[in-house]
Amino acid sequence: MLRGIDISHHQQGINIGALDIDFVIIKATEGNGYKDDMCDSFVEQSKASGKKIGLYHFARPDLGNTAVSEADWFIKETREYQKEAIFVLDWESGNLGNVAWAKAWLDRVYEVTRIKPLIYMSESPANSYDWSSVANADYGVWIAKYGVNNGQANGSPIAKNWPFITLWQYTSVGRINGYDGNLDLDYFYGDRKAWDKYALADSTSQENNNGDQILYKGSKVKFNGIFTVDEINIKSNLFASKDLTGGITKNYHWFSSTPFTHVNDKGEVLPSQIIKKGSKVINNNIYEVLAVDVATDSAKLNINGRKNWVKSSVLYEFSDQ
């Protein structure tokens, strides 16, 4: 999992190289004819400091613009960064139920660049409208969900039409050493190689990192989030988490605590590795899928000698090639 921020000209003056983050997603364009005047500078700063980059277009269907005209404007202004930046449609400015407009923009960008963009939106519209046409076309989703919006990650986002979430914007008031101001903070559920695949033209990344792909025996997978411990069995060194299984209390599956690492809400490893009820944990190991259950959309893994069923939405397919 990678940690990053998303920014625009509102963060002018930020020293990206001084920030301890993995990626930066930068506003490139808006509507027809507007380009963020800090875009190129932010991109160069990010590349110079070894950070992965993404570029987003702020959609304006509320102005009566066509999806194709806005897509063509974005393509024109980001052409030099193709094959090194993830592309994103920022979907938050009115007409949020106009799924056809959003898909037309995504389709146009893919048609011209052969890069599959992501779509960004808050959790509410993601679950209020039918986005199956977008999800089925293999466009990933970046969800904004803040909860109490206190700078920490609170709860996990849901997007009913997607098998998994690619990015999570978990706060708009985050703080990072090196910048004196609030920032949007994000998690990318993948590694640097996965990021690169999303950015490549005619990439197979959406196939190699698609939630559907974990539903094959023999696939290699990794966990893609921070999970809350709901119950603990100290004597047996086991814990249970609905984040991992999606089940209610009576359907908990007990996991060995050994391969999980105790972290804070930001994913930073804590000095004490004693896991208690309410603790946050991560798992960075690679596992092989032993079996799948299509009905429950879950995969069976051998986790430290225990056969656990894990919901597919908390896994992503991993390749070390």
Q: What is the mean pLDDT of residues 3-30?
A: 97
Give the number of residues written for the chain. 321
Predicted confidence (pLDDT) at residue 32 exceeds the cutoff of 80: yes
Q: Which class in CATH covers the domain with range 211-317?
A: mainly beta
Q: Is there a contact between 256 and 237 (Cβ–Cβ < 8 Å)? A: yes
Task: Determine the pLDDT at residue 203.
Answer: 38
Q: Using a pLDDT cut of 70, give the percent of the chain over it.
A: 91
- The domain segmentation of the chain, as residue ranges, is 2-208, 211-317
In this prediction, residue 151 has a pLDDT band, given cuts at 50, 70 and 90, of confident
Pairing of strands 141-144, 118-122: parallel
Alpha helices in the chain (DSSP H): 39-48, 67-78, 99-113, 123-128, 132-136, 192-199, 205-208, 242-245
Per residue in 210-251, pLDDT tens? 333 334 678 888 898 899 999 999 999 999 998 998 764 445
Mean pLDDT confidence for 165-172:
95
Residue 167, Ramachandran bin (φ over 0: left; ψ between -120 and 50: alpha; else beta): beta
What is the spatial distance between Cα 130 and Cα 58, in angstroms, rounded to a whole number?
A: 21
End-to-end alpha carbon distance in the chain: 18
Q: Classify 2-208 by CATH class.
A: alpha beta
2-208 shares its CATH topology with 211-317: no
Confidence at residue 295, expressed as pLDDT on a 0 to 100 scale: 67
Q: Where residue 208 falls among pLDDT bands split at 50, 70, 90?
A: very low
171-175's contacts with Cβ under 8 Å and 24+ in sequence apart are 171/146, 172/146, 173/149, 174/5, 175/151
Q: What is the pTM of this model?
A: 0.66
210 compared with 289, residue with greater pLDDT: 289
Q: Per-residue pLDDT tens for 75-110?
A: 999 989 988 999 999 999 888 999 999 999 999 999
Mean pLDDT rounded to a whole number for the chain: 89
Q: Using CA atoms, how far apart are residues 104 and 89, in angstroms rounded to an integer?
A: 11
**pLDDT value at position 293?**
76
Q: Is the pLDDT of residue 267 over 90?
A: no
